[in-house]
Amino acid sequence: MMNKNTVLGWATFIMIVVGVALIALGAVRYQDVAGYGFGAVGVGFFAIAWVFNALKGRV
């Protein structure tokens, strides 16, 4: 059974995977200014994943 901490753990994991994918997409696929945008959004996903990880055990 999934409780709140398990859901936050999975959300953190998914956010990290998507963040890495966006940073990789910006670095490999888009060499122009769009790559910086993809990288910035990927870092934003890392920040949100960090918040989800910090909420585990507190909610």
Residue with tokens 């998914």: 14
The pLDDT score that the predictor gives to residue 31 is 83
φ, ψ dihedrals at 34, nearest 5°: -60, -30
Which CA distances in Å does 21 have to 17, 40, 45, 53? 6, 12, 10, 19
The pLDDT score that the predictor gives to residue 42 is 95
List, for residues 13-42, the tens digit of each pLDDT value. 999 999 999 999 999 998 889 999 999 999
The pLDDT score that the predictor gives to residue 44 is 95
The pLDDT score that the predictor gives to residue 32 is 86
- The residues spanned by each domain of the chain are 4-55
pLDDT of residue 59 exceeding 80: no
Task: Write down the pTM of the prediction.
Answer: 0.85
Q: Which amino acid is at 40?
A: A
